[in-house]
Amino acid sequence: MSDITKRYKRLSYIFFWLGIFLTFLPLIIFGIKGCMDGSIELTNKLKFSLCFVSAISLTMMGIKSKYNCRSITYLLLFGCYFVVKRIEIVVLVSGICCILDEFVARPLHKYYREKASINKEIDKRIGV
């Protein structure tokens, strides 16, 4: 495999994992904030836990059917709303992460994945 093919493959992996990170970033931020805050009532934490358990089951089904996990993270963000009680911040952060994922990370991942596969075929033909 040539250096260019390795570089394209590495960039494809980087943007793939960046997209996953951007999908789950709001959940990580507000989940940790909600669970660590001492002023949050126990019933709200239980609501969040219920949303989390249902989202885990939906994630398992989504991974089996190779479905996008974005709607599952929105369910978890709804649970975070019960804990944090500031929906404006939750929606703003999830919107920014969604836009960055859809218009930056995913197209670049697809671009570099296609470039890597093309270069892999070229490498096979020239015997590298």
Task: Determine the number of helices (DSSP H) and then strands (DSSP E) in the chain.
Answer: 5, 0
Q: Is the distance from CB of 35 to CB of 83 less than 8 angstroms?
A: yes
User: How much is the pLDDT for 55?
Assistant: 67
Q: How confident is the model at residue 73 (pLDDT cuts 50, 70, 90)?
A: low
User: How much is the pLDDT for 9?
Assistant: 92
CA distances from 104 to 19, 80, 107, 109, 120 (A): 9, 26, 6, 9, 24
* pTM, to two decimals: 0.68
pLDDT at 71 over 90: no
| Dihedral in degrees, nearest 10, Cα atoms 11, 15, 20, 26 | 140
pLDDT at 64 over 70: no
Q: What is the C-alpha to C-alpha distance for residues 56 and 51, in angstroms, rounded to an integer? A: 9
* Structure-model confidence comparison of residues 8 and 93, the more confident one: 8
In degrees, to the nearest 5, what angle opens at C-alpha 87 toward C-alphas 36 and 28?
Answer: 40
Q: What is the pLDDT of residues 9-61, one digit of tens each?
A: 999 999 988 887 887 777 777 767 766 766 666 676 677 677 667 766 766 66
The pLDDT > 90 percentage for the chain reads 14
In degrees, to the nearest 5, what angle opens at C-alpha 90 toward C-alphas 21 and 74?
Answer: 60
